[in-house]
Structure 1
Amino acid sequence: MKLSFVKFITALLIIVNSFCSLSVWADGRMEFIKVSLNDNWKFSRDPQGKGFNDHTSLKWEDVSFPHSWNTQDVMDDDPGYYRGTGWYKRKVKIDPGLKNKQLFLYFDGANQQSEIFVNGKSAGSHIGGYTRFCIPISNFLNFNNPEDNEVVIKVDNRHNDDIPPLSADFTFFGGVYRNLYLIVKDEVHFDLTDYASNGVYVNTPLVSEKSASVVVRSKLSNSVRQLNRVLVETSVIDSLGNKVAVVRSSVKLTPDVKSEISQEIKGINNPHLWSPDAPYLYKVISRIYDAKSKRLLDEVINPLGFRWFKFDPNEGFFLNGKRCKLIGTSRHQDYEDMGNALPAALHIRDVELLKEMGGNFLRIAHYPQDPVILEMCDKLGILTSVEIPVVNAITESEEFYTNCREMQKEMIRQNYNHPSVILWAYMNEVLLKPKFANDVKRQDEYYKNITALVQNLEDLTRKEDPSRYTFISNHGAYDLYKRVGLTSIPMVIGWNLYQGWYGDKIEGFGQFLDKFHKENPGKSLMVTEFGADADPRLRTFNPLRFDKTVEYASFYHEVYLKEIEKRDFVAGAAVWNLADFNSEQREETMPHMNNKGLLTWNRKPKDIYYFYQANLLRKPFVRIASRSWNLRSGIADSDNHDFCIQKLKVYTNQKEVTLIVNGKNLGTKIAKDRICLWDVPFINGLNTLEAVVKEGGLLYKDYTEIDFKLLPYNLNSSLVPFKEMNILLGSQRYFIDDLKHVVWIPDQPYRAGGWGYTGGMPFKLNNGNKDGYGSDGNIRGTFDDPLFQTQRVGINEYRLDVPDGLYHISMYFSELNDGREKAPLLYNLNNSVAKRADSARVFSVSVNDKQLLKALNIREEAGANAGLIKSMEVFVEGGKGISIKFSPIEGNPVLNALQIRKEF
């Protein structure tokens, strides 16, 4: 049936009114429609699995897509998060005039098993949470009653042994967490059901500075029940809209049969090349016309970038004939308070932040991400790798193997036309937690099955796309990966290396790279992960491995980048990670978070981000590194000084920097490895800082303000009056609470006239993996975990020689020994076990010889790994100061943190 223009307009208006849609037009007539179907959904969890039809037990709420049901429960104190079934439903108005069109529901992503019902019948299903899928729905619609069409979506994110990922250091958020579209096509169209690609595949087999050629494969779908002849036209359009080349092919379509044609465009002279410095994009416009009426039936637009590249095992990566060191980050797709259900603007902003950092590479890990990510990488000139979520382990079943292959095909075909993609990956750290550790023979069989799967995916990938390189990422167990054979199969090997963090000394990083290159001279190498946790609330002037401070992470990256840059055979490196991300199983200083990001979860830069800008940007750059540490505290240098000297770091790509503090020039420093250091005398209150560089007769400046809370050297000082003190016991780090405008400072031994502890030792977690810096456990009942994660064990007394007055005292306690062995988590790369010895602990606390806490039993009162705060008022007179004494009854007394505030 041939529809009139008026009927098409009516159909479009109905869809627009229902969906707030986007339509596509050509030659004054609507030829196909793609509209978002994101609004007006009802959602319900179904933890009992009773099914959609049991309306009495399901509680429905209004939602829109993108949507995840795990935005809140992944951050609470209860272990685990909802992994089960969720249902979505809504009515869809369909105009009868669309009866002879082909209608599809097109999902950008739903995690992880989905089944779609239209008017009560199953229209299709999909396995996998990170690739797109397309469901034809025309045969299930009621065109006679346009008001009476219901779409129901069932999504399930529970663990399934046959679906990767099986386990990982990230959260498997559930829901329809990306966009959903309704697509209307003519009966003849480019095939959307070819693994949810757009049906057109663009290749550039020959590219040079002087000429280029383009080959376009188009897959056509014909649902017309008669012989049909169409004209397929492919045009190459430059960035100004000029038609560079065009080719047309006449095609005879067999009824109800899918066809494929290939078209070649030769002799595109002097092409604009695509690169990170100049990401010039052409467009390839593919159109299908009815050969007789010349009516436009379908249209697909793809990006086109002319570039050529190669990996050289000795010289690294080359783009367009020039060496190009790939430096960038990996990325996870979640965000604070949103889970992974992000609007496009936040995906776009992530790629912009990577570009603003100076990065030219994005490892899209550990799964394909929102389509807009690669769109932006094309536009901004970010080279990429993309991988499927085979992480940590496999299941030895045909179902698992099939799902891996299907995911790989979906990933490749959906993202085939992006010039930014140079690597297809298919595994990450697959030997991290080997199964059958107590059965050598069975484990060898498991390893052989992994190798077979690797080879199978390698062969599939090379067949699907011979123009790009293949890739897997391994963790640092080099000998194991070599023995199993995984270092020889892929074209490029990625290594996730954490020497100086999870294990080994930091010097071992460069040694590892040299060893691999020496023993595998014909294999290209990338560093696909490296990083150290940096809780932005934690700072120190004495960084230690695993203290989670920004300062240790900065030191770590300064070492790693230097080692990467000086080795040509290292083709590139990706920091783990662009931004902090959710990993529900994690505990540590910020429970449920992996803090290795260069940006916070809500994308605020950490010091390390500026370090990479100083190294990667070409325009003049200067940045005060610790500008986000704008609330500080410290002790006056002496009783006669009203300032505290603390280190300040500046990053720059210029030769020298001048620092001006509170209007005073502190001198000019020569940058070493892009770093300048000063000893800055901070005064009480607001301090102004300005870092200045000069280049080409121009001044470039960075300005910040730091609010400094100066503490007296002598607590009875008249120069610096005592107001309050917040102390972390057993700690060498500062904890900054921006919300309460409070700084917690490291502990110290007692000094006459000052303050400090007597007796005891810092709590040390015996797990053989870290430097013993406090507990790594989640402290229940608080967001300020670092206040409770360090303590002084066996303390005798805490003394503060404060002046007379009324004081408010708060003592912070936590029982960090929970009596159990804590199993190593999957991200703990050296497999150590945290041993926590059970211990009874009962003690009394007296303040100025008055017993205020009698027979305190932290475990009995609060439980293990929970925060307990005891507050009281103390009146000090006669120059006695404050003396807090701890009397053991059973076990060793402890104190985690102490807060003293003078009321008057």
Structure 2
Amino acid sequence: MLKAKSLFLLLIAATTGLTGFAQDGGRKIISLNDQWEFNKENGPVERVDLPHTWNDKDVLDDAPGYYRGLGIYKRKLKLDESVKGKAVFLVFNGVAQEAEVLVNGRSAAKHIGSYTRFIVPISAYLNYKDDVIEVRANNRFNEDIPPLTADFTFFGGLYRNVSLLIANPVHFSQKDHGSSGVFITTPQVSALAASVQVKSTIDNTLAAQKVQVITTIFDAKGSVVNKQTSAVTIHKNENKTIIQDIKSVQKPELWSPENPYLYRVVTQIVDVKTNAVIDQVANPLGFRWFRFDAAKGFFLNDKPLKIIGASRHQDYENRGNATPDALQIRDIELLKAMGGNFLRVAHYPQDPQILEACDRLGILASVEIPVVNTITETEAFTSNCLNMQTEMIRQHFNHPSVIIWAYMNEILLRLKFSNDKARQQVYFTHVRELAQKLDSLTRKLDPSRYTLLVNHGAWDIYNKVGLTKIPMIVGWNLYSGWYSGVPEDFGKFLDRHHKELPNTPFMVTEYGADADPRIRSFSPIRFDKSVEYGLKFNQVYLNAMLSRPFVAGGIAWNLADFNSETREETMPHINNKGLLTIGRQPKDTYFLYQAYLLGQPYLKITSAAWQDRTGIADSAALTSTQPVQIATNLKSAELFVNGKSLGIKDAVDHLIDWQVPFANGKNQLRVVSGDQNDQAEIHFQLQPFTFNDNRVPFKNINILLGAKRFYIDDQEHQVWIPGQPYKPGAWGWIGGEPYKGTNNRITYGSDKNILGTGNDPVYQTQQVNIKQFKFDVPDGEYDLALYFAELVGGETKEALAYNLDNNHKKEVEEQRVFDVSINGTAFLPKLNLAADFGYTTAVKKTTRITVQNGSGISIDFKPIAGKPLLNAIQLRKIY
């Protein structure tokens, strides 16, 4: 909704029960975010404020699925008598996904689609005494409403702001697909001069009236740049369009990411008789021109500009899509602070605050409708898609940040009719026809911007179906080295497009690798979910795109981690490809982008995010050597550890690594390059190389079996280290091999959701057919914990469609029964994890042990049926 220019605390607010009263040139905008009653269908009633979703909790639990159904919101509305005769509207910025609005029990409007504004005229339904608003929202699956399926959660609710708009009988039209009724274009722009066209649509609900439409352009200082007045007579019930051409804006200040200069266009309806402002709308204006070139990339204001940015989902940690304005705006501020210049608003239009922030901060943007993965071949589905595209364009038309309208994403990812090729060809024809309709509609509604259709990396099928020939720009979502292949395949794909489609501009609209911020590795490999693999992955992609002029740009997937209820993996229900966590804490990858993109000198200890570490002492030493990394755009830097220099090193692709000998306790790190510096404090728990080394006191140790990664339990502040084969005098496993699932893309461990724990990585790897685990600890009292989970079996779930080389085989369940004994005494006889606890369920068994006579601790695993296993083990010395 358009922002009000001033806020007043008026007496009427107390009598109406409405808060957030605002007035803007004859119209009043009043927030209706408070005092709602809500219940699910047949559920209990609760008081809620907006924004609100009913799925903020159930999408995170262990139960598959989440509530997709009816939610009912009710609110009283007491209006002053002075409102009679006015045009009164309810403005909904987002309701998921089918909405019916009732006023005093009468249906006033229905709307389809979760992600665009709709405006409901309610004057005819009001009694101006004890009015009641009811909104029936439903996020059920409906085959005629996109999105049908996607890698994000379809939250339900009134999850964006709702307001009351009170306007005079003559007002800017509220009938045009949720728009402001005023549309601004810049037919000509250069550094010397610019022209502006303002197209206004006006409605009149009462008697004929003579008015003036006055449009004024203000610069950023508030000075008038130009002004035009048009005299109009508007009759009762008439809808009239007025076009004003302003041709003489001299030497305009140009809008760009470096200088996001905004003018302000204020359009007023003025009563000729009284000279009073009847209605008023304000819009941003940015003078810029741009073009995409298939050989040379993107140009803004005739200057080449490499587009580098990120996509964004709108949900936030523990809030779902019901995200307050301030947190949404902060996302764009974080993107700007990263050095990004582009936001892909994906996979749906988002809150008006987002593009307003892009305008202010200088972030170019694309916006798209949620036609994702697949379509339904019905007239209703097509109609809904076309309406969504129209609403998106109309509502966001005036934002200078927007340069692209998009309409499909990976639409051939989930192929239908694979067993009926003739029928599949018919489906492909329908997909192509829908794409062509959306593209043609977009070009008609807005000839000034580019169209974009986004494909996944299946080159042949998108070309064969013809989807690379329809849009003005082709988008490719590429995950070489993650969902398929190796990172080095990425550059080959870019070159292929340039060779085979030399006249078609393109962008890399998605790329990324999961980086669970709790997982670190010194030998990162694909699918280990480590931050370190994410860093290497992004280095390869950035280098490839920046070195090829014909690549218009690259858009990282994603700005922040986001909810995807169907995902399992190390952090169930969360897609971890974000450069920020879902709570918007930066990962090492975010720092890498700053090193690549920021114009000013930059130096950052990325490893500082890993503040608590542990590791085994180097042989005969009182330190443990582990890597430390910094990100920089400087040539070289010097690292000091506890005041001692570890030398000067040159940056390679904006990163520098040192091998640091960490001492037990606090370690002060300081990196210096010229007048730039950064510092961090790392707390290190040194583990003895052997238990008889009294210089390193043993306290406790947490060990992952079958793993090559570290895991940071940020809830209990524990760090888990990879296991090792048994070393006399120390500890380790004897016998067996790391678990490897039936899914060939996983190099070790499982990606299943482990029930009953938030520490899934502790249970997702294991040593299978283990014979023994030993601790050669000295005599004393110890607490021992054994961790188990049966990873094979349970409910068969659909493999993620995104895993393009996913050779998923049916799991072969085996009966697994084994005895566990400790120092020769039975501890867990005839343990049967599947039968006793269930599949993929966290099992933790603890005991206290007295070690005496130099016996140490030996845990033995004796098979009865099948192969014994152990997922993790934990030992703590008591005294």
Range of TM-score over shorter length? over 0.9
Matched, 1:659 2:639: yes
How much has 1:846 moved relative to structure 2? 1.2
Secondary structure at the aligned position of 1:406 is classed as helix
1:188-247 superposed Cα distances (whole Å, 9 cap, x missing partner) = 1111120010000000111111111100100111112x3322110011100000000000
> Between the two proteins, what is the percent identity of the paired residues?
53
Counting matched residue pairs gives 872
Matched, 1:632 2:613: yes
Matched, 1:128 2:113: yes
Secondary structure at the aligned position of 1:74 is classed as coil
Following superposition of structure 1 onto structure 2, how do residues 466-865 of structure 1 map, counting pairs within 5 Å? 466-638=447-619, 640-694=620-674, 699-768=675-744, 770-818=745-793, 821-830=796-805, 832-865=807-840
Structure 1 pair 883–387 and aligned structure 2 pair: CA distance change class (3 A): same
Residue 112 of structure 1 is matched in structure 2 by 97
How much has 1:823 moved relative to structure 2? 2.3
**d(CA) in 2 for partners of 1:15, 1:259:** 37
Secondary structure at the aligned position of 1:626 is classed as helix
Following superposition of structure 1 onto structure 2, how do residues 378-397 of structure 1 map, counting pairs within 5 Å? 378-397=359-378
1:40-63 superposed Cα distances (whole Å, 9 cap, x missing partner) = 0000000xxxxxxxxxx5411000
Amino acid at match of 2:186: T
How much has 1:834 moved relative to structure 2? 4.9
Amino acid at match of 1:43: F
**d(CA) in 2 for partners of 1:595, 1:331:** 13
Q: Which range is displaced more, 127-136 or 847-856?
A: 847-856
**d(CA) in 1 for partners of 2:716, 2:380:** 53
Structure 1 pair 555–352 and aligned structure 2 pair: CA distance change class (3 A): same
How much has 1:856 moved relative to structure 2? 0.5
**d(CA) in 2 for partners of 1:808, 1:835:** 39
Residue 182 of structure 1 is matched in structure 2 by 164
1:525-581 superposed Cα distances (whole Å, 9 cap, x missing partner) = 100100011111111101010001111111111111111110111101110000000
Following superposition of structure 1 onto structure 2, how do residues 125-274 of structure 1 map, counting pairs within 5 Å? 125-143=110-128, 146=129, 148-224=130-206, 226-274=207-255
1:11-50 superposed Cα distances (whole Å, 9 cap, x missing partner) = 9614785222231254xxxx2100110000000000xxxx
How much has 1:703 moved relative to structure 2? 1.3
- Kept in 2: contact 1:331–1:365 (CA 8 A): yes
Q: Which range is displaced more, 741-750 or 352-361?
A: 741-750
How much has 1:661 moved relative to structure 2? 1.0
**d(CA) in 1 for partners of 2:17, 2:683:** 53
How much has 1:334 moved relative to structure 2? 0.5
Amino acid at match of 1:155: A
How much has 1:877 moved relative to structure 2? 1.4
How much has 1:772 moved relative to structure 2? 2.4
Secondary structure at the aligned position of 2:59 is classed as helix
- Kept in 1: contact 2:16–2:78 (CA 8 A): no
**d(CA) in 2 for partners of 1:572, 1:33:** 42
Residue 276 of structure 1 is matched in structure 2 by 257
Residue 52 of structure 1 is matched in structure 2 by none
- Kept in 2: contact 1:117–1:153 (CA 8 A): yes
User: Paired residue for 1:64, among 49, 53, 57?
Assistant: 49
Q: Which range is displaced more, 250-259 or 458-467?
A: 250-259
- Kept in 1: contact 2:526–2:747 (CA 8 A): no
- Kept in 2: contact 1:658–1:668 (CA 8 A): yes
- Kept in 2: contact 1:625–1:651 (CA 8 A): yes
Amino acid at match of 1:175: G
**Normalising by the residue count of structure 2, what TM-score does the alignment of the two structures yield?**
0.98
Structure 1 pair 219–731 and aligned structure 2 pair: CA distance change class (3 A): same
- Kept in 2: contact 1:15–1:94 (CA 8 A): no
How much has 1:822 moved relative to structure 2? 3.8
How much has 1:666 moved relative to structure 2? 1.4
**d(CA) in 2 for partners of 1:127, 1:822:** 30
Amino acid at match of 2:714: D
The CA RMSD over aligned residues, in Å, is 1.2
**d(CA) in 2 for partners of 1:265, 1:16:** 44
Secondary structure at the aligned position of 1:401 is classed as helix
Secondary structure at the aligned position of 2:228 is classed as strand
Structure 1 pair 689–431 and aligned structure 2 pair: CA distance change class (3 A): same
- Kept in 2: contact 1:765–1:834 (CA 8 A): no
User: Paired residue for 2:70, among 85, 91, 96?
Assistant: 85
How much has 1:774 moved relative to structure 2? 0.5
**Normalising by the residue count of structure 1, what TM-score does the alignment of the two structures yield?**
0.95
**d(CA) in 2 for partners of 1:254, 1:93:** 31
Structure 1 pair 454–831 and aligned structure 2 pair: CA distance change class (3 A): farther
- Kept in 2: contact 1:116–1:122 (CA 8 A): yes
Amino acid at match of 1:247: Q
**d(CA) in 2 for partners of 1:356, 1:447:** 42
**d(CA) in 2 for partners of 1:239, 1:386:** 26
**d(CA) in 1 for partners of 2:125, 2:528:** 58
Matched, 1:299 2:280: yes
**d(CA) in 2 for partners of 1:43, 1:691:** 54
Amino acid at match of 2:30: V
- Kept in 2: contact 1:11–1:95 (CA 8 A): no
1:242-299 superposed Cα distances (whole Å, 9 cap, x missing partner) = 0000001111213201011110101211100000000000000000011222221100
**d(CA) in 2 for partners of 1:520, 1:621:** 38
How much has 1:70 moved relative to structure 2? 0.3
**d(CA) in 1 for partners of 2:19, 2:242:** 36
1:850-902 superposed Cα distances (whole Å, 9 cap, x missing partner) = 12111111111110000111111111112221111100000000000000111
User: Paired residue for 2:34, among 32, 35, 39?
Assistant: 39
**d(CA) in 1 for partners of 2:862, 2:743:** 29
- Kept in 2: contact 1:236–1:284 (CA 8 A): yes
1:393-446 superposed Cα distances (whole Å, 9 cap, x missing partner) = 000000000000000000000000000000000000000001111110000000
**d(CA) in 1 for partners of 2:397, 2:794:** 53
Residue 4 of structure 1 is matched in structure 2 by none
How much has 1:837 moved relative to structure 2? 1.5
**d(CA) in 1 for partners of 2:249, 2:189:** 9
Residue 79 of structure 2 is matched in structure 1 by 94
**d(CA) in 2 for partners of 1:834, 1:140:** 60
How much has 1:830 moved relative to structure 2? 3.8
Residue 5 of structure 2 is matched in structure 1 by none
- Kept in 2: contact 1:804–1:876 (CA 8 A): yes
Structure 1 pair 68–720 and aligned structure 2 pair: CA distance change class (3 A): same
**d(CA) in 1 for partners of 2:804, 2:17:** 51
**d(CA) in 2 for partners of 1:69, 1:12:** 34
How much has 1:827 moved relative to structure 2? 3.4
- Kept in 1: contact 2:13–2:19 (CA 8 A): no
| Runs of 4+ with deviation above 6 angstroms | 9-12
- Kept in 2: contact 1:802–1:881 (CA 8 A): yes
Q: Point out where structure 1 has 5 or more consecutive residues left out of the alignment.
A: 1-8, 47-56
Amino acid at match of 1:442: R
**d(CA) in 2 for partners of 1:307, 1:384:** 13
**d(CA) in 2 for partners of 1:25, 1:467:** 30
**d(CA) in 2 for partners of 1:116, 1:903:** 64
Residue 49 of structure 1 is matched in structure 2 by none
**d(CA) in 2 for partners of 1:742, 1:417:** 51
**d(CA) in 2 for partners of 1:16, 1:274:** 45
1:771-820 superposed Cα distances (whole Å, 9 cap, x missing partner) = 42201100000000011100000001111111111111100000000156
**d(CA) in 1 for partners of 2:99, 2:723:** 54
Q: Which range is displaced more, 247-256 or 98-107?
A: 247-256
- Kept in 1: contact 2:769–2:867 (CA 8 A): yes
User: Paired residue for 1:346, among 327, 344, 347?
Assistant: 327
1:715-760 superposed Cα distances (whole Å, 9 cap, x missing partner) = 1211112111110000000011123121110011111111111110
- Kept in 2: contact 1:538–1:733 (CA 8 A): yes
